[in-house]
Structure 1
Amino acid sequence: MNFRHTLVKLVAAVSFLFVGAVATQAINPTSTNQTVQAASDNDADDVVKLATAQVGKPYVYGATGPYAFDCSGLVQYVFRKAAGVNLARTTYQQVYQGKSVSLKNLKKGDLLFWGAPSAPYHVGIYVGGGKYVHAATPGQGVIKQSLSGYFYPSAAKRVL
């Protein structure tokens, strides 16, 4: 039984990587918005406040709010409503927006990505103090948690 469970996890992980690679090839990175919007500290604070207000809402694949979200739908909703920033709909497109930043120099409102930097499978919003908000899983919904070595992002982007 344990082997079967491990095999299912492995197949799921490989599927995410394959889908990410295919989606990345379908996207022309030069055609996405790569400009960084001039922002005030108020925009970042508003993003953090709205993201945090979503904690507890359910995760539903393909949902973009305001009652349920998937990870990229949460990011798109929060940035549009809190700061007037129009981000792409999917994680695979959002990673090409904004400016790359070091994971050691995160600021409130930065986007965090997990997976291959050119084909991430997950995105969340850094809210300061070593914490981030994300639509985690269907069982967890939108949660706020601390960055940890166990589940550490592979890339960060600044769009504010």
Structure 2
Amino acid sequence: MEFKRSLVKLVAVLSLFFTGVSLINVPNLNQSQTVQAASKKGKRNAVAELAKKQVGKPYVYGATGPSAFDCSGLAQYVYKKAANKTLPRTTYSQVNKGKRVSLNHLKKGDLLFWGSTSSPYHVGIYVGDGKYVHAATPGQGVKKQAISMYFYPSAAKRVL
């Protein structure tokens, strides 16, 4: 009888031990995914906020900041400073980065392109609430505008 009691205790202890070991070795994928998602959301928000801070600066063809921009220079500058993400210099190259997203499901920081989807002539940064920031023209400089049917983007890319 004493042997059975000792055996039951041993089995109980081993059971608790192995249960504890298996719980320790199981990674919590949900927590990791949540941290990664929060990190991406934070970077997207930082991109949008820095883009908005550039409003009012002049447009200068070939300029990449910090005091003047052309459209692709603005995108390149903001992504590097806000998210430590290096984008190519031209809209023609920037459109090849990231994944294509629907214009109906934009998130802050998404790049908006105008012109053909393979060879766009203009880029802006979506900042939320149906608005984007872009280096418009030499006469207008960097502006924040609402997406309109009169100047509707042809493509959007998510690089964060």
- Fold match by TM threshold 0.5: yes
Q: Kindly report which structure 2 residues correspond to 1:79-98, keeping only aligned pairs within 5 A, or say none.
A: 79-98=79-98
Q: Kindly report which structure 2 residues correspond to 1:116-127, keeping only aligned pairs within 5 A, or say none.
A: 116-127=116-127
C-alpha distance in 1, partners of 2:94/2:40? 21
Deviation for aligned residue 1:41: 1.3
The unaligned stretches of length 5 or more in structure 2 are 1-35
The higher radius of gyration belongs to 2
Task: Give the equivalent residue in structure 2 for 1:145.
Answer: 145
Equivalences, count: 124
Report Cα offsets for 1:10-46 as digits up to 9, x if no partner: xxxxxxxxxxxxxxxxxxxxxxxxxxx9752110111
Task: Using the TM superposition, name which of 40-49 and 73-82 deviates more.
Answer: 40-49
Higher relative CO (CA 8 A, sep ≥ 6), structure 1 or 2? 1
Task: Give the equivalent residue in structure 2 for 1:74.
Answer: 74
Q: Kindly report which structure 2 residues correspond to 1:36-47, keeping only aligned pairs within 5 A, or say none.
A: 39-47=39-47
C-alpha distance in 1, partners of 2:58/2:135? 8
Report Cα offsets for 1:105-127 as digits up to 9, x if no partner: 10000000000000000000000
C-alpha distance in 1, partners of 2:123/2:65? 16
Task: Give the equivalent residue in structure 1 for 2:105.
Answer: 105
Q: Is 1:50 aligned to residue 50 of structure 2?
A: yes
Normalised by the length of structure 1, the TM-score is 0.76
Deviation for aligned residue 1:133: 0.1
What RMSD, in angstroms, separates the aligned Cα atoms of the two structures? 1.2
Q: Which runs of at least 4 in structure 1 moved beyond 4 Å after TM superposition?
A: none
Q: Percent identity?
A: 73
**SS state at 1:151 partner:** coil
